[in-house]
Amino acid sequence: MAATTTTGLEHVLPLGSRLNERGALEVGGCDVTELAREYGTPAYVYAEDDIRARARSYREAFAARTDRFEIVYASKAAPVTAIYALLAEEGLSCDVASGGELHLALAGGFAPERLYMHGNNKTEAELAYAVECGVGTIVVDSFDEVERLRRLAPGQQVMLRVTPGIKPETHEKIATGQEDSKFGFGLDDVPRAVEACESAGLELRGLHAHIGSQIYELSVLERLAEVLGGMGDYPLLNLGGGLGIAYTAEDRPPSVDAYAEALLSRVPDGVTVLCEPGRSLVGNAGITLYTVGTVKRIPRVRTYVAVDGGMSDNLRPMLYAARYEAQIADRFGGSDLCTVAGMHCESGDILIRDAVLDDPRPGDVLMIGATGAYGHAMANNYNAIPRPPVILCRDGHARVAVRRETYDDLTLRDR
């Protein structure tokens, strides 16, 4: 019998998560150890209501302050058809950053006019596909792209991506607003880019900037709103995504309400403000389930707890030294300091360096929280490992939104 129904990770795990009478984690009302048994591991498990609640909290926070706003789901965070469908139902717009994301967004039911197409190097084929589908707005990233659009899409509605020279405190690989960036137009180039769009017959709707991800400092976002707001008389300003989330017990990100206040208090009156959250809509909604395979205790060194996934289903620890929390799914707590390792052929395949677990054993289901963003999105087939399924849970019912890859999928493209 579990001593408590609280996880101690309320701000990290999906809303409504709890420990049931067996001491097992429930997400979306589903016992995750039963999910592991039924669907296998590794598996991405999301609480559908968490995603919906976060979408509503964005809409409510903005609606409480203005009626000129649009919340745009940055779908690179979790490009899953069923998640696109949920967020379309919740009244959001959507950012797609490739032809593939565009395809998924349409499959999920987004109306093309609600789509914003991004990318620092959209191919001709992607631009042509966007135009053919009637994508509402293309966010123009370079002079070369203006020329492509002059040929492919006269009259297309566009926004200009601006690199405002603002560097947030975040990992350098996910900072995008600094002058030295592959994205967008530097401030000095904006007047020339505006002219180029006009002469190409494009309909310029406004400016866009995304300065980076996993940002806790609202002051840089306030500065961004001031900089873009001061650049001219544009009816639309898209201030990007970037609001950070809690990955570990200590993390305390700003609320969505404080974020909305930071942006909206700094933009000029009459402007319609767009924001593009990805991580903060879906990151905490998802967890990953693994099965412990081996426990290797190296005296005076460390204890490796190896699981049946790793850098093929979560690249963030390797790319950005991202930190996470793990627990044995039906024995939260404990005091064994462990390193959670993946099963791939690299020493760098470490998911968590210092996890405190309760006597981990082979066969245990281990869960890692806050993997809902950029986990499935960046999954890969390193070591020819089939990619995990995406399972959505709600009110005790689970549905497979994306099935697990099979070995046959791995040879499907062979010729």
Residues acting as catalytic residues:
345
Task: Classify residue 361 by its DSSP letter.
Answer: -
Residues within window 301-360 making contact with ligand PLP, judged by CB under 6 A: none
Query: 25, 45, 77, 88: which one contacts ligand PLP (CB under 6 A)?
Result: 77
- Whole-angstrom distance between the N-terminal and C-terminal Cα of the chain? 55
Nearer to ligand PLP, 241 or 310 (CB): 241
Supply the DSSP string of 3-28, one letter for each residue. S-S--S-TTTSPTT-EE-TTS-EEET
Nearer to ligand PLP, 52 or 316 (CB): 316
User: Helices 48-63 and 81-89, interaxial angle, to 10°?
Assistant: 40
Instruction: Categorise residue 219: left if φ over 0, alpha if ψ from -120 to 50, beta otherwise.
Output: alpha
Give the torsion sign (CA, 272, 255, 16, 84): positive
Backbone angles phi, psi at 20, to 5 degrees: -85, -175
The answer to whether residue 141 forms part of the interface with ligand PLP (CB under 6 A) is no
Pairing of strands 18-19, 25-27: antiparallel
Residues within window 36-65 making contact with ligand PLP, judged by CB under 6 A: none
The answer to whether residue 145 forms part of the interface with ligand PLP (CB under 6 A) is no
Question: What is the per-residue binding string for ligand PLP in 176-215, x denoting contact by CB under 6 A?
Answer: ----------------------------------x--x--
Q: How far apart, in whole angstroms, are the C-alpha atoms of residue 173 and residue 171?
A: 5
Residue for token pair 């998911």? 351
The number of residues that bind ligand PLP (CB under 6 A) is 17
Q: What is the distance, to the nearest Å, from the Cα of residue 69 to the centroid of all Cα atoms in its chain?
A: 21
The answer to whether residue 74 forms part of the interface with ligand PLP (CB under 6 A) is yes
The answer to whether residue 170 forms part of the interface with ligand PLP (CB under 6 A) is no
Tell me the two tokens of residue 7: 């996880």
Question: What is the per-residue binding string for ligand PLP in 89-128, x denoting contact by CB under 6 A?
Answer: ------x----------------------x----------
Residue for token pair 């082979």? 362
Residues within window 228-247 making contact with ligand PLP, judged by CB under 6 A: 240-243
Q: At its nearest, how many Å lie between ligand PLP and the CB of residue 245?
A: 9
**Do residues 278 and 73 make contact, with C-beta atoms less than 8 angstroms apart?**
yes
Residues within window 243-282 making contact with ligand PLP, judged by CB under 6 A: 243, 276-280
Which of these segments, 72-80, 249-257, 312-320, 403-411, binds ligand PLP (CB under 6 A)?
72-80
- The binding site for ligand PLP (CB under 6 A) comprises 74, 76-77, 95, 118, 210, 213, 240-243, 276-280, 373
